[in-house]
Structure formats: structure tokens, C-alpha cells
Amino acid sequence: MDEKQWIMEIIGQTDKEYKITDKQARILEVAIQEFADKGYSNTSTSEIASKAGVAEGTIFRHYKTKKELLLAIVTPTLTKGIAPIIERTCVKDIFNKEYESFEDFLRFLLNNRYQFLRSRAPIMKILLQEAAFHDEINADLKRLFTNRVYQEFTKIIAHFQDKGQLKIFPTDTVIRLMLTSIVGFLVTRFIILPGYKWDDAVEVENTVAFIMSGLKA
């Protein structure tokens, strides 16, 4: 199912058959739901167990501690959410002239992350909430950001500045403004006001336009 594609990521084997019992899946499903709704600390393992229709001990057979359950949920999305799009998909393509313009790149980026988050909004909410309090998540987040996002964006921006498409703002500021608008869109859309009557296509286009106006030469 498309909806539960994240299960694959969490289990870690994309297509290989890997024993994942029905109960284990239900534990993950409920844990994500509850962590997102009420926060990690405010969710008890006994609650997860009963909502998943499972004995409490069963949770601890699969995850040694409650925190390990949290990390099992959050880590794959963290990695997939930040790392690959940049490196694999974009950077190569951009320098292979796949993206003629920065605007095309931006549009692709927004659409791509939008699709990614559609089915992962709750996990992303957990990630953002708990990053503040768990060093394991925080460290991963910082490492991925500096090694992937920041480095690659720096190159891309330099590339398009060289081509004369972008204003010569300081790179850090460009990244900040750009990411702020992108993340702001996604967070508003999926976390703060998921129920609002968004016309997503229009919002994406307007956001791209807004960013471009601010950055283009």
C-alpha cells in the first residue's frame, strides 16, 4: 500500500522479504499516531500496547526500550527525508543541465518534498518535536544538514549565481530565506493547518514565485 510505505523504510528492507509480524506493524502504527498526537513523553507504552491490541511485553520484545521505538520510527524518515533527494537526484541532474533554471530546481524540490511528506506528516511532526530533546536525533539532524543540505545547496546556489540567475546575497542568507519558505510551507500545510482548504498546486506555484522574486538577479 502506498499509505504504509514508511513501514518498509522502518523495517529497513525495501523489497526483500523480512519477517514483520502483524503485531509489530500495529505497534509502529499506533506509536506513530500517539507520539504525533500527544508527544513521546505523554504517551505510555501501556497505552500503545492496548491500542495496538498487544501485550505490553510484546513492545519490549521488539524494541529494548521506549526510546529505541522512537528512534526506530524517526531515523529512517530523517535519513530519507533529508539526504537522498539532494545528493542523488538533484545535484547530478543540475550539473547535467537537467535543470535549466533555478526556478525549475525549486519547483522540483518543493513538489518532491511535498509528495514525500504526504504520507509521513505524523512522523515528521514527531521528528521536529523530539529533535529538541533527544541528542541522538539532534546529532543526526545536524550531521545530515551540514553534510548534505548545506554543502550541496552551497554548490547549487553558486552555480546559478555564476549563471547570473541569482542575486549575490550571502549564501547563508540565501539558504536561510529559501529553506524558511519551503519548510514554512510544508509545516503550515501538513502540521499546523492540515485541515485548511489548501489548493496545493496554487500554493506551490505561489511559493516558488515568491522565492524567485526575492532571489533572482
Partner DNA sequence: CATGAATGAGGTTTCATTCAT
Partner DNA sequence: TATGAATGAAACCTCATTCAT
| Positions 136 through 165 that interact with DNA (CB under 7 A) | none
- Say how many residues touch a second copy, by CB under 8 A: 29
| Positions 116 through 145 that interact with a second copy (CB under 8 A) | 125, 129, 132-133
| Positions 1 through 40 that interact with DNA (CB under 7 A) | 19, 21-24
Q: How far is CA 38 from CA 4, 20, 44, in A?
A: 21, 26, 10
Q: Which is nearer to DNA, 70 or 90 (CB)?
A: 70
Helix-helix angle 102-118:171-187, to 10 degrees: 40
Q: Please, what sign has the CA dihedral across residues 10, 16, 21, 22?
A: positive
Please state the closest distance from residue 88 (CB atom) to a second copy, in A. Answer: 26
Give 166's strand partners: 216
Q: Which of 65, 101, 146, 180 binds a second copy (CB under 8 A)?
A: 180
Q: Which of 8, 33, 60, 152 binds DNA (CB under 7 A)?
A: 60
CA gap 147, 162 in Å, rounded = 23
Written as nine digits, the cell of 26 is: 500495529
Which option in a second copy, DNA, none does residue 45 bind, with CB closer than 5 to 8 A by kind? DNA
Phi and psi based region of residue 166 (left: phi greater than 0; alpha: psi -120 to 50; beta: remaining):
beta
List residues binding a second copy (CB under 8 A).
38-39, 41-42, 125, 129, 132-133, 169, 173, 176-177, 179-181, 183-185, 188, 202-203, 206-207, 209-211, 213-215
